[in-house]
């Protein structure tokens, strides 16, 4: 009997990544101002480079994004079933550590914001650092900002302090009550040294949160098929790190919160045929979207949030009966890929023509582990417990199995260790007394 691992519940993963979010602060004006100041000091008189923002627009940008918006946004995602990753920059723009206080803002405002992040957004989104400041590199000895930039010089970060730097970012979140599942790269942080960067994130995750299966978000690939690369795999110890790759650009509202970057059609057109997402969904590849927090708020106009609502409406229409797609956190996508690729699956001895045992040995647990078996099964037991038969893909969930044609799909929560799956077949083709094939 051939066995293969499918997407979870035979559905294509969807996920929403939100970058540049921090408690209270609107990162964009701080980032643009600090970059202008840096330019003025080092290259006086030179114009800003593309991607450095427009200094003239800074005055019109709000310095903070209200907690009321964060709560409403998080509630909406919860109601809609949208899941993904939400950055919480731990030392945003160097204004203050979120486990201590932000200069110029009240402790109450910070606390309320962190409460919303944990309690409203956190249940559906991985909360990650986006390194320490998302602007200047912090000198860990002095706690002061250096002249280097996290996403400029540290595209190729120095190796020696890298793990410590990531540990510091994770530890601040932990002090604020958040054991992060991974990290987000500010811009191209770490990109030219990805293998070392992945190692440093993994070591930091182990050190701070004893997390052996973290993820990072670094790559956005809107012109090739997305995948989920795994690095530094130690199969016998259950250790690996996943790179979560986005398949689309930020067409919500951009990173500044004033650009006219939003357009739902770039994701998926009204007729559900065009845009970047339909072909990725047709290929059943992980469909990870990225937006920036200042663009969702858009100075109070909520342009990016409106684009998100429209894109969600169209994705719901694309998956009319709710059987083709599955919203997941980034960490859930990472864990699933690890289970898919790093579990040993073997067909045990063939007990009889009517019964077969499949054995799985894995150090990579995941919910909703889904297998396709090329046999028509009448009964399936996982570690002695019966899976419930269902008739339709709509009812297919963990703890059930479904026969379709001559295939059987089974789904269950894969635990670490050994799993035994006992499969009872329908009898094979038999010759009926009337002389023609009869499948019973």
By CB under 5 A, name the binding residues for Zn ion.
19-20, 186
Q: How far apart are CA 63 and CA 18, in angstroms?
A: 19
Tell me if 127 sits within 8 A of 173, measured CB to CB: yes
Which residue, 258 or 369, has its beta carbon nearer to Zn ion? 258
Residue number of the CB closest to Zn ion reads 19
Q: How far is the CB of 98 from Zn ion (least distance, A)?
A: 16
Among candidate residues 289, 264, 291, 259, the one with its CA nearest the CA of residue 275: 264
Query: What SS3 state is found at 157?
Result: coil
Which residue, 183 or 382, has its beta carbon nearer to Zn ion? 183
Residues paired with residue 86 on neighbouring β-strands, in sequence order: 18, 127
Among candidate residues 231, 249, 227, the one with its CA nearest the CA of residue 240: 231
Interhelix angle 67-80/107-116, nearest 10 degrees: 10
Q: How far is the CB of 134 from Zn ion (least distance, A)?
A: 6
Which residue, 8 or 186, has its beta carbon nearer to Zn ion? 186
Q: How far is the CB of 186 from Zn ion (least distance, A)?
A: 5
Q: How far is the CB of 44 from Zn ion (least distance, A)?
A: 27
Give the E-state strand segments of 235-295 in sequence order. 239-246, 287-292
Which residue, 74 or 295, has its beta carbon nearer to Zn ion? 295
Residues paired with residue 327 on neighbouring β-strands, in sequence order: 14
Tell me if 154 sits within 8 A of 189, measured CB to CB: yes
Integer-rounded Cα radius of gyration of the chain:
24
Q: How far is the CB of 166 from Zn ion (least distance, A)?
A: 15
Q: How far is the CB of 256 from Zn ion (least distance, A)?
A: 12
Residues paired with residue 349 on neighbouring β-strands, in sequence order: none
Q: If phi over 0 gives left and psi between -120 and 50 gives alpha, with beta otherwise, what is residue 94? A: left
Among candidate residues 359, 422, 358, 356, the one with its CA nearest the CA of residue 385: 422
Which residue, 150 or 337, has its beta carbon nearer to Zn ion? 150
Which residue, 5 or 17, has its beta carbon nearer to Zn ion? 17
Q: How far is the CB of 20 from Zn ion (least distance, A)?
A: 4
Which residue, 19 or 302, has its beta carbon nearer to Zn ion? 19
């Amino acid at each position: 009997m051939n066995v293969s691992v499918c997407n979870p519940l035979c559905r294509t993963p969807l996920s929403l990544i939100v970058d540049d979010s921090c408690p209270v602060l609107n990162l964009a004006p701080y980032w643009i101002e600090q970059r202008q100041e840096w330019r003025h000091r080092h290259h006086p008189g030179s114009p800003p480079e593309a991607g450095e923002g427009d200094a003239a627009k800074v005055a019109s940008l709000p310095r903070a994004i209200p907690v009321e918006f964060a709560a409403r946004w998080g509630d909406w995602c919860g109601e809609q079933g949208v899941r993904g990753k939400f950055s919480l920059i731990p030392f945003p723009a160097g204004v203050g550590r979120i486990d201590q206080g932000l200069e110029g803002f009240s402790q109450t405002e910070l606390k309320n914001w962190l409460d919303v992040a944990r309690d409203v957004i956190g249940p559906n989104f991985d909360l990650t650092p986006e390194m320490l400041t998302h602007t200047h590199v912090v000198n860990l000895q002095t706690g002061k900002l250096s002249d280097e930039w996290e996403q400029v010089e540290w595209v190729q970060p120095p190796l020696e302090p890298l793990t410590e730097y990531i540990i510091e970012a994770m530890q601040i979140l932990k002090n604020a009550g958040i054991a992060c599942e991974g990290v987000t790269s500010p811009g191209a942080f770490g990109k030219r040294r990805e293998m070392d960067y992945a190692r440093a994130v993994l070591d930091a995750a182990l050190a701070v949160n004893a997390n052996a299966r973290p993820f990072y978000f670094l790559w956005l690939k809107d012109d090739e098929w997305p995948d989920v690369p795994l690095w530094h795999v130690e199969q016998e110890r259950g250790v690996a790190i996943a790179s979560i790759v986005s398949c689309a650009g930020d067409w919500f509202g951009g990173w500044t919160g004033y650009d006219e970057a939003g357009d739902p059609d770039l994701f998926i057109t009204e007729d559900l045929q065009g845009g970047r997402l339909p072909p990725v969904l047709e290929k059943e590849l992980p469909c990870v979207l990225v937006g920036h927090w200042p663009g969702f708020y858009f100075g109070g106009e909520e342009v990016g949030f409106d684009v998100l609502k429209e894109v969600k409406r169209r994705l719901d229409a694309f998956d009319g009966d709710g059987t083709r797609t599955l919203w997941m956190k980034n960490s859930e996508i990472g864990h699933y890929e690890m289970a898919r690729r790093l579990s040993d699956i073997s067909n045990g001895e063939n007990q009889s023509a009517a019964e077969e045992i499949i054995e799985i040995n894995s150090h990579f647990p995941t919910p909703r582990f889904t297998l396709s078996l090329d046999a028509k099964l009448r009964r399936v037991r996982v570690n002695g417990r019966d899976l419930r038969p269902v008739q339709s893909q709509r009812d297919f969930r963990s703890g059930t199995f479904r026969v379709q044609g001559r295939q059987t799909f089974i789904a269950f929560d894969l635990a670490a260790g050994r799993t035994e799956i006992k499969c009872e077949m329908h009898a094979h083709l038999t010759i009926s007394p009337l002389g023609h094939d009869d499948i019973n």
